[in-house]
């Protein structure tokens, strides 16, 4: 007997997939297999409101528990998908059970990278799960010395929250500016200044060479001889798609390659969210995104593909971030750009950066301008659609 639609992973993409399946009339079995012990929950608050202690843990649930029961969605929590038997269309679970599926969605998200130098220390961790966030919250407070290794969005948000809670924050970044890979050096420097103005120490171009302390990190030694003392270390050096369990199937390297609808090359197997690498029609290549809006949309689109329905029109990749009371929004593909134009007042935390390629808008970053998003989105959408194969290169 078939177990119907099986979803490996139980985050946002998984939840949105089930919601669309039921709302579009699918009434067969649905099973979510999730490694974590919690029903699908929202991650953005983990570095913001939840970390600040302004939101209880129960409030991050994407839907209340009865929502799944009412829709007859089976939640297999605390259970990992261990192996995919492509030919037999079976998923092997850590519990020893095997599920036979008609359709399988890979929605196992991403895992936070770690630094081998800091492995095994009780006061060093990452921020990916609800349990990580609760542990980190416990470590923050007035006068605590917190080191954030890596100035990506999650590290910067956690740094802002830790500062607000009265911690002494040091940010250690290997590159010459935060977010340099996405936004370039000059905009990245704006983020460094934002955090410095709020009291954090921001060490750029810095390399950790040693750790002092036995079970707990007491201090980090940097290549230039600086020693940073600390009570807690958060490692925020990016994520990788959590698809190692697919090794050997040919599906999972650097995210599961799918078309714009979420279909892999294997019939009946789909992928969505951080674990997927979908085809981007504007860029004419497969690109991973690690953002909320993409995961939500791709989960819903995969459900539509399973039911033979057309996908909803793909909007541009976009995300938001909140740091020191400033809303930062981003839309498009800045990595395509050859120029950046700034409009507004960076010093006043109120500006728009427009990224262009051959004069055509390909991305925008809005700082403190939440209402300008739809206009920026329109401009960038038109710009990306107008790129020709020559200008794309």
Ligand X SMILES: Cc1cc2nc3c(=O)[nH]c(=O)nc-3n(C[C@H](O)[C@H](O)[C@H](O)COP(=O)(O)OP(=O)(O)OC[C@H]3O[C@@H](n4cnc5c(N)ncnc54)[C@H](O)[C@@H]3O)c2cc1C
Interface with ligand X by CB under 6 A: which residues? 8-14, 33-36, 43-44, 46-47, 80-81, 107-110, 127-128, 154, 242, 245, 273-275, 290-293, 295, 319-321
Q: How far is the CB of 72 from ligand X (least distance, A)?
A: 20
- Reference 258, options 282, 274, 237, 238; nearest CA is 274
The nearer residue to ligand X, 148 or 360, going by C-beta atoms, is 148
The minimum distance between CB 382 and ligand X, in angstroms, equals 23
Residue 211 or 367 having the CB closest to ligand X: 367
Taking the complex as a whole, the smallest distance from the CB of residue 200 to ligand X amounts, in Å, to 18
Rounded distance, CA 268 to CA 87, Å?
Answer: 12
Shortest Å, Cβ 294 to ligand X: 7
Find the helix or strand (DSSP H, E) in which 192 lies. Answer: helix 185-197
Nearer to ligand X, 157 or 173 (CB): 157
Token representation of residue 132:
């990580």
Q: How far is the CB of 349 from ligand X (least distance, A)?
A: 18
**Closest to ligand X by CB, 271 or 360:** 271
- Nearest CB to ligand X, comparing residues 27 and 85: 85
Dihedral (C-alpha) 105, 335, 324, 160: value to the nearest 10 degrees?
70
Q: Which lies closer to ligand X via its Cβ, residue 159 or residue 387?
A: 159
Least separation, in Å, of the C-beta of 109 and ligand X?
2
45 in helix, strand or coil?
A: helix
Residue with smaller CB distance to ligand X, 323 or 356: 323
d(CA 371, CA 376): 10
In the complex, least distance from residue 384 CB atom to ligand X, rounded to whole angstroms: 19
> Which two three-digit tokens encode residue 390?
């020559």
> Which of 62-96 are b and which e, b meaning 16 or more Cβ less than 10 Å from the residue's Cβ?
bbeeebbeeeebbbbeebbbebbebeebbbbbeee
Distance from CA of residue 372 to its chain's centroid? 23
Closest Cα partner for 357 from 336, 343, 385? 336
If you ran DSSP here, which 8-state letter would residue 138 be given? H
């Amino acid at each position: 007997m078939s177990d119907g639609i099986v979803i490996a992973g139980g985050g946002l993409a998984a939840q949105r997939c089930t919601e669309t399946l039921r709302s579009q009339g699918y009434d067969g079995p649905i099973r979510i297999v999730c490694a974590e012990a919690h029903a699908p929950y929202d991650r953005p608050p983990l570095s913001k409101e939840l970390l600040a202690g302004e939101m209880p843990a129960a409030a991050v649930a994407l839907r209340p528990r009865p929502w799944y029961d009412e829709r007859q969605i089976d939640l297999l929590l605390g259970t990992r998908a261990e192996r995919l038997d492509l030919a037999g269309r079976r998923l092997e679970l850590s519990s020893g059970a095997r599920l036979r599926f008609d359709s399988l969605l890979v929605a196992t998200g991403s895992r936070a990278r770690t630094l081998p130098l800091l492995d095994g220390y009780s006061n060093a961790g990452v921020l990916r799960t609800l349990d990580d966030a609760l542990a980190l919250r416990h470590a923050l407070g007035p006068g605590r010395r917190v080191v954030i290794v890596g100035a990506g969005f999650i590290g910067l948000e956690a740094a802002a929250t830790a500062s607000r809670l009265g911690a002494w924050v040091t940010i250690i970044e290997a590159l010459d500016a935060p977010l340099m890979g996405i936004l370039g050096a000059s905009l990245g420097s704006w983020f460094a200044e934002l955090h410095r103005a709020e009291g954090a120490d921001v060490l750029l171009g810095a390399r950790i060479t040693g750790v002092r302390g036995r079970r707990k990190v007491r201090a980090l030694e940097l290549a230039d001889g600086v020693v940073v003392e600390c009570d807690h270390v958060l490692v925020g050096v990016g994520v990788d798609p959590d698809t190692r369990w697919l090794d050997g199937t040919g599906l999972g390297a650097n995210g599961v390659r799918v078309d714009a609808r979420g279909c892999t090359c294997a019939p009946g197997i789909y992928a969505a969210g951080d674990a997927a690498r979908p085809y981007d029609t504007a860029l004419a290549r497969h690109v991973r995104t690690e953002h909320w809006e993409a995961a939500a949309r791709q989960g819903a689109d995969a459900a539509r593909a399973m039911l033979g329905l057309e996908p909803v029109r793909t909007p541009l990749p976009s995300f938001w971030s909140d740091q020191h009371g400033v809303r930062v929004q981003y839309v498009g593909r800045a990595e395509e750009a050859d120029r950046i134009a700034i409009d507004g007042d960076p010093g006043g935390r109120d500006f728009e950066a427009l990224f262009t390629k051959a004069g055509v808008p390909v991305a925008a970053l809005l700082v403190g301008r939440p209402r300008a998003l739809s206009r920026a989105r329109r401009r960038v959408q038109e710009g990306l659609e107008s790129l020709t194969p020559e200008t794309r290169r």
